[in-house]
Chains A and B, each alone.
Chain A
Amino acid sequence: MEIDPFIFRLSIFILSIFIGYYVVWSVTPSLHTPLMSVTNAISSVIIVGAIIAALAGTSESIFNTSSIFGFIAIILAAINIFGGFLVTQRMLQMYKKKKNKKK
């Protein structure tokens, strides 16, 4: 019997949880706030679903009920992607060592 592709995706999922577990424990506590903002940004990769939904409209009806939800989701996810990565970058720029200190 063939293995259901779902099982493969489940395997990827479970293994990723383990990777996440070890990677996140190694994050230094002083960077926990940037960790939250960057996880926010990357979880907005959900935008790929939104793009698929938005592009599913036909040329006669670009905006049908389904694609409208897709378009709104694109805006929401895009706010998060740009906002998340940029605010993370802004925070990380502030973490400096003694020698780099201004003044």
Chain B
Amino acid sequence: MISANLAAIFYLVSGILFILALRGLSSPDTSRQGNYFGVAGMIIAIVVTFLSIGNFSTSLVYVVIFLVIGGAIGAFIAFKIPMTAMPELVAGFHSLVGLAAVFVAIAAFLNPAAFNLGNVGDIKLASLIEMSIGAAVGAITFSGSIIAFLKLRGIMSGAPITFSGQHILNLILGIGIFVLIFYLCKTQSTNIFWTVIIISFLVGVLLIIPIGGADMPVVISMLNSYSGWAAAGIGFTLENTALIITGALVGSSGAILSYIMCKAMNRSFVSVILGGFGADNSSDDKKEKKDQKSVKSGNAEDAAFLMKNASSVIIVPGYGMAVAQAQHALREMVDKLKKNDIKVTYAIHPVAGRMPGHMNVLLAEANVPYDEVFELEDINNDFANADVAFVIGANDVTNPVAKTDPKSPIFGMPVLDVEKSKSVLFVKRSLSPGYAGIDNELFYKDNTLMLFADAKKMTEEIVKNLD
């Protein structure tokens, strides 16, 4: 058994190792080492916890058994999961952190003596506030992540679910949680504690259902942030430095990612949270206009011909590439182009896909070297010098309307200047508007050739035609 002071120092060390783990992610070269720091921090925290309790009764055997069961499940998932399923995996993991926070809070409430927080019915006031906040945020994280998971997995429709009075209901429930926590502190009533948790579960569901599919990058980042704040709340309850540091790190990390995603869509965080964006609001007026405009469509042969005669090609991937799992075929196509001394780069919009960095992971999986992949601001000027822009599965992020039409819902959103390249190849299944429900002007430009097909099939055919 080690003293509380020594344990606290070890927890501090593990907190610092977690900081280094995040620091490593500043470049792919240092990232793997960073991950090892993270693992080391975790091992230290767990071992120190065992040593500081020093209760090596039969309970310990069970703790180890449960640890191994959970670990085996986790390892199995980590090795089996396809990279295209990363967004739902992360959402699923968030829900587990949330639920674990709720359960630890419940355990502490039912047996406060084990945590030195007082006795049942006489828990220290500060601890009671901390654990109920931790439990409430954890519960919101859990149910919210479950909804996000179901939407990403396609089990639930990605369309926003809205009803009148939704926001007022959320507000009332939110205030209700605070009022109940206030009474909980006065009465120490178990029933009120349970009620707080149940209402928080409800709030989590209500918070996420109105948010549509393409806003998912914001939702995932936001839930990431919540899971951190929940952990920090529990950290205060347990007076554990490692948990407080980690909670703060994760909380601010998620918040920053949410901010980056909102900025990339030129939308305020509040408008994303209030939801309802992307509902089908395309009027008949718009549809009539569409019929009058003409579209040039081509086949794989035309596309292969255009690219063969190009000297530089920029590829713009989007969610459609992930859905069609076209990343490997795409890499094959690029290899062929490179053999013909054609310069190929990739342009990635921050909100392409369903989570931050989604496209980068898929391209990395297909063995695309990361120094050929560029972010929006680094590559946007290159489109003017490119011969071909190959848009595969992206739509709204290329729409020039965002720069020209102040009335458009996406006006002001930073977009890729795809239309500046000499010709644009646009792989898409149909002319249907993208998530924002607006028509893409790019379809009707003279230098655009539409390739109507599934992203993977089309890319494979182009590969054949490149020979």
B58 touches A28 (CB 8 A): no
Question: How many A-B contacts are there with CB distance less than 8 Å?
Answer: 375
Q: Does B94 contact A (CB under 8 A)?
A: yes
Size of the chain B interface, CB-CB below 8 angstroms: 116
B231 touches A45 (CB 8 A): yes
Q: Which partner residue on chain A sits nearest B98 by CB separation?
A: A76
CA distance A25 to B253 in the complex (A): 8
CA distance A12 to B12 in the complex (A): 10
Q: Please provide the chain B residues from 330 to 375 with a CB less than 8 Å away from any CB of chain A in the complex.
A: 335, 348, 350, 355-358, 360-361, 364-365, 367, 369-373, 375
Q: Which partner residue on chain A sits nearest B130 by CB separation?
A: A6
Interface size range of chain A in the complex:
35 or more
B107 touches A53 (CB 8 A): yes
B90 touches A37 (CB 8 A): yes
CA distance A101 to B235 in the complex (A): 43
B244 touches A9 (CB 8 A): yes
B221 touches A50 (CB 8 A): no
Q: Which partner residue on chain B sits nearest A39 by CB separation?
A: B250
Q: Is the interface of B mostly helix, strand, loop or mixed?
A: helix
CA distance A21 to B241 in the complex (A): 18
CA distance A79 to B191 in the complex (A): 30
Given A47-B100, A54-B66, residue A95 in contact with residue B78 (CB < 8 A): no
CA distance A7 to B364 in the complex (A): 45
Minimum C-beta distance from A71 to chain B (A) = 5
Chain B 21-54 per-residue mask, 1 if CB under 8 angstroms from chain A, else 0: 1110111100110110011011001100110010
CA distance A78 to B350 in the complex (A): 31
For residue B227, which residues in chain A have a CB less than 8 angstroms away from its CB?
Answer: 39-40, 43
For residue A56, which residues in chain B have a CB less than 8 angstroms away from its CB?
Answer: 107, 111, 113-114
B357 touches A75 (CB 8 A): no
For residue A66, which residues in chain B have a CB less than 8 angstroms away from its CB?
Answer: 106-107, 110-111, 114
A77 touches B357 (CB 8 A): no
A40 touches B15 (CB 8 A): no
B107 touches A67 (CB 8 A): yes
Chain B 76-99 per-residue mask, 1 if CB under 8 angstroms from chain A, else 0: 011101010010011001101101
Minimum C-beta distance from B7 to chain A (A) = 10
A17 touches B28 (CB 8 A): no
A32 touches B357 (CB 8 A): yes
A34 in complex: contacting residue of B25, B45, B67, CB < 8 Å: B25
Minimum C-beta distance from B418 to chain A (A) = 19
For residue B384, which residues in chain A have a CB less than 8 angstroms away from its CB?
Answer: none
A28 touches B59 (CB 8 A): no
CA distance A83 to B350 in the complex (A): 26
A80 touches B100 (CB 8 A): yes
Point out which of B93, B231, B238 has the most chain A C-beta atoms below 10 A from its C-beta. Answer: B93
Pairs A–B under 8 Å by Cβ, sample size 7: A27-B26, A34-B31, A35-B356, A47-B100, A51-B50, A52-B238, A74-B63
